[in-house]
Amino acid sequence: MTRRVDRWRRAASKDKGPVGCVAMKRLRVDSNSGEKLACLSVNARGVIVQLQVQPRASRNELAGVREGSLKVRLTAPPVEGEANKECIKFLAKLFNIPKSSVEIIQGHKSRRKSVLIKGPTLEQVEEALRRNLGCLHDSEW
């Protein structure tokens, strides 16, 4: 795994682009409606995002897409639901929606979580991720 990440960092530093863009470019999938991230799916209630949460980080941030999940670093410890609360708060701010529109539907006690985002469309979620990971061009996506 370390070797793969180092390769992404080297590729990103050569292109002077952020690491997240390179990681997402490698993990995108094709569908009938175009390209989308492997960590995103849609159901009748909203957009489902697959997350890999890293608690006790130095700051709250997105760290790219790895192994089919959006990696999120959070400052909160994984004790008594603190990381889950921080995750909901972070995603609500990221997508500019109320906290009540973000729901953890799977993985309450795990680092891998499925989160339901109610309100924004798949395209709006992708655009917010693109903005916050620094991917400015569709060719990088």
Token pair in block for residue 24: 């997402």
The phi and psi torsions of 130 (rounded to 5 degrees) equal -60, -45
Q: What's the pLDDT tens digit per position in 86-130?
A: 999 999 999 999 999 999 999 999 999 999 999 999 999 999 998
The predicted pLDDT at position 102 comes to 97
Is residue 37 pLDDT above 90, yes or no? no
The model's confidence at residue 55, banded by pLDDT at 50, 70 and 90, is very high
Q: Where is pLDDT greater, at 93 or 25?
A: 93
Quick one: 2-133 is in which CATH superfamily? YggU-like (3.30.1200.10)
Return the closest-CA partner of residue 119 out of 89, 98, 90: 98
**DSSP for residue 79:** S
Q: Where in the chain are the domains?
A: 2-133
Q: Tell me the pTM.
A: 0.71
- C-alpha 60/C-alpha 132 separation (Å) is 12
The predicted pLDDT at position 135 comes to 59
The predicted pLDDT at position 14 comes to 44
Secondary-structure breakdown of the chain: helix, strand, coil percentages, each rounded to the nearest 5: 35, 30, 35
Token pair in block for residue 123: 């395209």
